[in-house]
Structure 1
Amino acid sequence: MTAADQLRVTDHETWIRRQVAPFALFMGFLLVLQVAGSFFASDLPSARWWRKAPEQWIYPVQTMACLVLLGAWWKSYEFNWSLRWSLAGAVFGAVGIGCWLLPTVIWDRWQPQGEGWWTWLGVQDRKNGFDPGEFFSPGGAAWWAAMVMRFLRAAVVVALVEEIFWRSFLMRLVADWSGRYWLQPFGKHTWLVFAVVTGGFVLAHAPVDYAGAIVYGTLTYLLAVWSRNLGACIIMHAVANGLMGWFVVATGKTGLW
């Protein structure tokens, strides 16, 4: 029995807290960003960059805070790293993010005007979003620092906090919500688990991403059930977000992240 398994069996309250807290901390920073946008941000030409775009400094602080928490509790998680399942996760991640990016690729070829049913499928340009180049000289030290932190946030922090919460914690909770759910094995399948976990994952994203999130969330659920391996799901998420970041940099579609 690993240290993570032993913690789950002998001290479930601590196990629950360590499963949920990183995700809660991550989401808490998004709330801070909303508050900053309402009371602190400024569009005035004379405003400094940290007021024009609070996300440019809130995201790095969010990233470091979550990394510190995850690092302190690292041995509490049942990653069960495996080369075989990590490779499978990488393939799933590439396929999943390919489906997520397909609508905006279709937009490039089709370029429909106005709004319609295609909007709900994510067929949009996605050019307006997080872009350090608006405030820092591209290729400069500040620009590189912002990009490194952005990739670190997307490919490491998001992959860890979301998979620990959605797959390691919530799948178990829904599988046996009225009993000792923390003793459930990782990746246990029921249709209710699939509906709640995948639905929650989809709703955590913007409506423009719902179609991609449905496909991606379903693939991640299948990988979790098939592999029974949390590490594989994290690798899938890390590869997917890393490829998305590369796509954003290559195409300028900053609205994707």
Structure 2
Amino acid sequence: MTLQQPPKRISQQPQARAAAAPVLALRANHSAALPRVLPFATFIVFIIFADVLERFGAHANTMRWLYPAKIALVLAMLLAWRKHYRELRTLPARRDALLAVGVGAGVFALWLALDASWMQIGTPRGFDAAGSDGRIDWPLVAVRAFGAALVVPLMEELFWRSFLLRWLERRDFLSQRPARVGLRAAAISVLLFGIEHNLWLAGIVAGIAYTLLYMRSETLWTPILGHAVTNGLLAAWIMVTGSWTYW
């Protein structure tokens, strides 16, 4: 994140392509949709806002603190609406939880492997971990890791799996059993989840894995756990290797 104008590319943040998903979802005109859609939509708006600021040459320090701001706001929204998330009241069986951990680790390995140029959308902006003195800003890195491993999995699974996957099958999505979601709804939600990420193919693979976890266990905690393991391992790997572009 610098003062220089970014080079031309297909998309600075592929997550912005997913902005159409919450707009479409809000047409459900169902009060149950808002607590699951708005936290995700807020996250996407921040990404678009950061892209606009960068195009107009915003200072790097301003850009660096947008992530803590959006994580704090999204977390506050999730906590404020926690009573609406009745799908979180059912805990997974131990076997399903262990499977989710294994699947999450497998998705992490594939995420690192599926990084060929044709498997990417545009060029990622990358996270600038260095402070004004050139040293790694570890408190900011810790916030980034916390958001990636804990807040994002909860926010995204509430939107992509609990809401959108079931809503595509039935507008009264709360009455839709995950195990009975059809192929069309699963395919659309997985494809949209994939193009939300710069590594679109890895995103599709992850979307398939988390969707199957949800449909198999019929509890949202399994894809949340799998997603958290993936993001947590990726955060650890990024911090150890300094591969900040994955963020």
Instruction: Provide the TM-score with structure 1 as the length reference.
Output: 0.76
Establish whether residue 182 from structure 1 lines up as the match of residue 174 from structure 2. Answer: yes
Aligned to 1:29: 46
Amino acid at match of 2:144: R
Aligned to 1:98: 109
Deviation of 1:20 (Å): 0.7
Aligned to 2:236: 246
Amino acid at match of 1:28: V
From 193, 197, 201, the equivalent of 1:205 is 197
Deviation of 1:55 (Å): 3.2
Q: How does 1:146-157 map to 2 (within 5 A)?
A: 146-157=140-151
Deviation of 1:187 (Å): 4.2
Aligned to 2:130: 133
Amino acid at match of 1:146: L
Structure 1 CA distance for aligned equivalents of residues 218 and 65 of structure 2 = 37
Identity %: 31
1:133 counterpart SS class:
coil
Aligned to 1:75: 83
Contact conserved, 1:187 with 1:225, CA < 8 A, in 2? yes
Contact conserved, 1:96 with 1:240, CA < 8 A, in 2? yes
Structure 1 CA distance for aligned equivalents of residues 74 and 179 of structure 2 = 25
Aligned to 1:46: none
Q: Where in structure 1 do 4 or more consecutive aligned residues deviate above 6 Å?
A: none
Deviation of 1:214 (Å): 1.9
Aligned to 2:210: 220
Contact conserved, 1:37 with 1:54, CA < 8 A, in 2? no
1:247 counterpart SS class:
helix
Amino acid at match of 2:174: W
Q: 1:223 to 1:103 in 2, by over 3 A?
A: same
Structure 1: gaps of 5 or more residues? 1-11, 42-50, 105-117
Structure 1 CA distance for aligned equivalents of residues 179 and 131 of structure 2 = 43
Structure 1 CA distance for aligned equivalents of residues 132 and 66 of structure 2 = 15
Aligned length: 214
Establish whether residue 86 from structure 1 lines up as the match of residue 97 from structure 2. Answer: yes
Structure 2 CA distance for aligned equivalents of residues 91 and 164 of structure 1 = 21
Structure 1 CA distance for aligned equivalents of residues 124 and 184 of structure 2 = 37
Contact conserved, 2:108 with 2:230, CA < 8 A, in 1? yes
Q: Which has the larger radius of gyration?
A: 1
